[in-house]
C-alpha cells in the first residue's frame, strides 16, 4: 500500500504479528551479531570494557551513553533551545502543585501540558494534564522525578534517527518513522469495547485501551463520533509506526544538525518531533523536539507492518554496527559490565512509581 494513496483509517488496519513480539524474541537473532561486535571492539590487552561497554562511549555527554536512566531534561537542555518544546524538571522542593504552576507561568505555559518520568523508558508513564486537577493527581501518583513539557497539538509526530561519526562535522539521518495515532469512529450500535475488539490492530492492545477508558469502555459511541485512543507517539501505547523515508530531505538533515550542534558529545540516537505539516518538515521548518534518546534508541521504522523479516533485521544489524563503530572511534569512556549492571539494577529496583495509564 502506498502512503500517498491511503488515508489513516486504512493505514491503521495494517498489521503484522511481528510488530508485537516481546523484545527478547525480536532481539534473539541479533544477539550473536552484538556478541561479534563486542568481541571486535575489545581493546588489545584489556578486558575491562568487555567489548559490549564500547557502546557507552557513543554519547560521552550522556551517562553510559543513554543506556538506562538518563535524564530527559538534562539532554534537552544541551540542544539548541529554539528547536525544543519548553520544559522543566519537577522533584524535591518543587514537587507540589503551586511550584509547578509558578514555573509554568515563568515559561508562558498553560494547560494542557505533558507530564512524564524524567528517566522514562519506551514511552511508559506519559500523561496529559489538561487541568489543575489532573496535575494534582499526577503529582500524587508518582514518586519519581518528572518532566513537565509544553503540549504540541501536532497533529503529526515522527521519530528521526540520527548519527554522526566522531571527527565528522555533520551527521546523517538514518531513518524517519511516521507515527499514525489510533482512533475509532462510532456507528451508533457498537460499544467502545466492540470497536476495539473488531479491529485487527487495536484488539492486540485491548488492555491498554480498556485501562485508559474505563468509564466509557461499555458505552456505545454515537454514529460519526471519532475517539482518539492515544495522543502519545509510542508503539506500546497503540501508535502505528511506518517507514517515513518520503519525509527525508537535505533541508531537514541540515536543521537536525543545527539542533544537535551545541551537544558536541552526542553522536547516536533518535529525536521524537512534533509538527503540523509534512511539507514543512521536509523543508526543515516548524518542527519541535519532544525528546532525544541515546544508545538504546531503535530505528523504529522497523515496526512498519509492511516490512519483511529480512528488511527489519537489516535495519537492526546496521543500527548496531554503526553504534559500535561510533563507540570505538569516540574518545568517550567505555563502560565495564559491572557499572552497566549496577545502573540497570538501580533504575529497575523497587521504589519507582508512576501511573501506567499513559496517554
pLDDT in tens, 216-274: 999 999 999 999 998 777 777 789 999 999 999 999 999 999 999 999 999 999 999 99
Query: pLDDT value at position 272?
Result: 96
Provide CB contacts within 8 A for 197, sequence distance 6+: 203, 206
**pLDDT above 90: percentage of residues in the chain:** 68
- Could you give the CA distance from residue 176 to residue 21 in angstroms, rounded to a whole number? 21
DSSP H or E stretch at residue 41? none
Exposed / middle / buried, residue 223 (Cβ in 10 Å: 0-12, 13-18, 19+): exposed
pLDDT averages per 10-residue partition of the chain, 359 residues? 57 88 94 94 62 91 89 96 97 85 96 90 77 91 90 94 95 96 94 95 91 95 93 79 96 98 96 97 97 94 95 97 95 78 70 48
**Under 8 Å between Cβ of 49 and 72:** no
Residue 44's pLDDT is what?
62
List the domains of the chain with CATH numbers. 3-85+152-181+237-349 (no CATH), 86-151 (3.30.1490.20), 183-229 (no CATH)
- Cβ-contact 154, 180 below 8 angstroms: no
Residue 46: per-residue pLDDT: 53
Kindly report the pTM of this predicted structure.
0.90
| Assigned C-alpha cell, 103 | 514555573
Residues 6+ apart with CB under 8 A from 141: 353, 354, 355
Opening angle at CA 337, ends 333 and 340, nearest 5 = 75
Structural Rg of the chain based on CA atoms: 21
Q: Which helix or strand (DSSP H or E) is residue 177 part of?
A: strand 172-180
Query: Residue 327 corresponds to which cell in the numbers above?
Result: 563507540
DSSP state of 58: G
Tell me whether residue 82 is exposed, middle or buried, using C-beta atoms within 10 angstroms of its C-beta: 0 to 12, 13 to 18, 19 or more: exposed
Amino acid at each position: 500500500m502506498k502512503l500517498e494513496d491511503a488515508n489513516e483509517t486504512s493505514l491503521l488496519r495494517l498489521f503484522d504479528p511481528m510488530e508485537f513480539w516481546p523484545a527478547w524474541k525480536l532481539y534473539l537473532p541479533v544477539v550473536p551479531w552484538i556478541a561479534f561486535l563486542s568481541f571486535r571492539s575489545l581493546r588489545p590487552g584489556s578486558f575491562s570494557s568487555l567489548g559490549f561497554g564500547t557502546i557507552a562511549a557513543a554519547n560521552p555527554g550522556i551517562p553510559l551513553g543513554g543506556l538506562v536512566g538518563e535524564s530527559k531534561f538534562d539532554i534537552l537542555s544541551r540542544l539548541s533551545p529554539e528547536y525544543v518544546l519548553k520544559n522543566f524538571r519537577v522533584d524535591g522542593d518543587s514537587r507540589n502543585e503551586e511550584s509547578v504552576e509558578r514555573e509554568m507561568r515563568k515559561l508562558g505555559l498553560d494547560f494542557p501540558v505533558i507530564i512524564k518520568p524524567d528517566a522514562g523508558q519506551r514511552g511508559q508513564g506519559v500523561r496529559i494534564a489538561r487541568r489543575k486537577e489532573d496535575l494534582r493527581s499526577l503529582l500524587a501518583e508518582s514518586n519519581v522525578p518528572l518532566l513537565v513539557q509544553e503540549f504540541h497539538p501536532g497533529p503529526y509526530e515522527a521519530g528521526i534517527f540520527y548519527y554522526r561519526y566522531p571527527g565528522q562535522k555533520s551527521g546523517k539521518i538514518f531513518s524517519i518513522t511516521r507515527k499514525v495515532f489510533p482512533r475509532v469512529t462510532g456507528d451508533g450500535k457498537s460499544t467502545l469495547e466492540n470497536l476495539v475488539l473488531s479491529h485487527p490492530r487495536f484488539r492486540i492492545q485491548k488492555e491498554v485501551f480498556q485501562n485508559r477508558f474505563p468509564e466509557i469502555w461499555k458505552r456505545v459511541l454515537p454514529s460519526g463520533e471519532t475517539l482518539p485512543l492515544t495522543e502519545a507517539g509510542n508503539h506500546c501505547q497503540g501508535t502505528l509506526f511506518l517507514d517515513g523515508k518520503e519525509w527525508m530531505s537535505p533541508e531537514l538533515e541540515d536543521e537536525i544538525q543545527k539542533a544537535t550542534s551545541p551537544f558536541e558529545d552526542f553522536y547516536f540516537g533518535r529525536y521524537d518531533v512534533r509538527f503540523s505539516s509534512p511539507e514543512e518538515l521536509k523543508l526543515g521548518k516548524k518542527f519541535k523536539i519532544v525528546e532525544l534518546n541515546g544508545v538504546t534508541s531503535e530505528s523504529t521504522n522497523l515496526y512498519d507492518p509492511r516490512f519483511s523479516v529480512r528488511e527489519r533485521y537489516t535495519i537492526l544489524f546496521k543500527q548496531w554496527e554503526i553504534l559500535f563503530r561510533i563507540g570505538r572511534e569516540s574518545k568517550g569512556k567505555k563502560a565495564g559490565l559491572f557499572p552497566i549492571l549496577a545502573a540497570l539494577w538501580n533504575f529497575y529496583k523497587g521504589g519507582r512509581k508512576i501511573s501506567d495509564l499513559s496517554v
